Amino acid sequence: MALILPILLCFVPLLAVFVVLVFWGKMKVLHLLWALGAGLLCVLPVSVIQFFLGMVPVFSNQNLLFILLKSVLLYGLIEELCKLGIGFVLPKKNYTTLQFLLISFFFGLSLGCFESIIYFLDHLQKSSAIGGVLLYKPVFTRMFTSDLIHTFCSGLLGLFIYNARQKDFHVSLIFLAVVLHGVYDFFAGFANSFKYFSLAVILFAAIECRVKYLIYNRKEK
């Protein structure tokens, strides 16, 4: 039970957003389950690629510049490109820009939640405290940080995909998602006060989603 509860807790944000999107967003349950499966599908290639690339010597360099490079390339680029490729399978028919943005958010959140389980199990393996507060700390932390950056970066990719399907390409959205994700991971990796800059990155990503949505939705009208 001590192991199951934290794992179930990882899915609380996903369940809450699912309910909101069904009853408020009028999204189809089948489409949301589709996005959920896409998020789960994305975890495997991301984990495998990062595992092998993580063994490349250049990524073991502890110089701040190399750590930033690792964050952008190994985490930002790999994860966002995998999400971009799989994101094209998300349903779009009869969806407005807002609805596709919402389902993209859900896709990113699902990846973040499944990824949280992996990090939790890794944390558990390294920890000698089973059933204590230490088990829940990484879950709660990622719930309000990593899950959100995945959500908003997926929103930016969703706007790219939605427009690309109409032959209107905005590559800057991909670049923005990659850089924001990488910079977030860079700051989140600090053990000192610098880690709080990651919260500013999340806020900026959320603002960018709104700004870009307003721009492209206005063009659609």
Condensed to tens digits (0 to 9), the pLDDT of residues 79-110 reads 999 999 999 999 887 889 999 999 999 999 99
Q: How confident is the model at residue 166 (pLDDT cuts 50, 70, 90)?
A: confident
Q: What is the DSSP string of the chain?
A: -TTHHHHHHHTHHHHHHHHHHHHTS---HHHHHHHHHHHHHHHHHHHHHHHHHTTSGGGG--SHHHHHHHIIIIIIIHHHHHHHHHHTTS--TT--HHHHHHHHHHHHHHHHHHHHHHHHHHHHHH-S-SSSHHHHHHHHHHHTTHHHHHHHHHHHHHHHHHHHTTT---HHHHHHHHHHHHHHHHHHT-SSGGGGHHHHHHHHHHHHHHHHHHHHHHHH-
24-82 confidence digits (pLDDT tens):
888 999 999 999 999 999 999 999 999 888 888 877 878 888 899 999 999 999 999 99
Of 118-122, 125-129, 155-159, 179-183, least confident by mean pLDDT is 125-129
Q: What percent of the chain has pLDDT over 90?
A: 64
Q: What percent of the chain has pLDDT over 70?
A: 92
Of 89-98, 122-131, 183-192, 209-218, least confident by mean pLDDT is 122-131
- How high is the mean pLDDT of the chain? 89
